[in-house]
Amino acid sequence: MIMAIEYGLVPNESFESLYSEICLSHNQVKQMLNHYLNSIRNMTIQLNEETLIKLTKGQVVDVLLENLKRKEIVELIHMLTLINERQSDVSSYLIYILSGILAYKEKKGFK
């Protein structure tokens, strides 16, 4: 939550309308994602019966930054803030997001 407050990402009723107005540098976004992924070293994602993908924390951050639009990244950070406030684990949520991204890329033939 401290990172969210520092960058003006305190959840409130009007937060969703502000997604596009929040100014964060690439390095700030990367720092925030790394902060929320602090407990994750590696992630394993099962796309289908044949495809198992293993990602390091750095690769997870790179996949998110390369494949999500700016507004989607800010929304993701907001969701990670809420999950962190509940003292819950972010890995299930991230696996859900990454599964969608990686399945889309696989379907389109990207590596």
Q: What is the pLDDT of residue 27?
A: 87
Query: Which residue do the tokens 């949520």 mark?
Result: 93
> What is the C-alpha to C-alpha distance for residues 60 and 66, in angstroms, rounded to an integer?
10
Average pLDDT rounded to a whole number, residues 84-103? 91
Grade residue 13 by pLDDT with cuts at 50, 70 and 90.
very low
> What is the C-alpha to C-alpha distance for residues 106 and 109, in angstroms, rounded to an integer?
5
More confident site: 21 or 81: 81
User: One-letter amino acid identity for 48?
Assistant: N
Grade residue 99 by pLDDT with cuts at 50, 70 and 90.
very high
Q: What is the pLDDT of residue 38?
A: 85
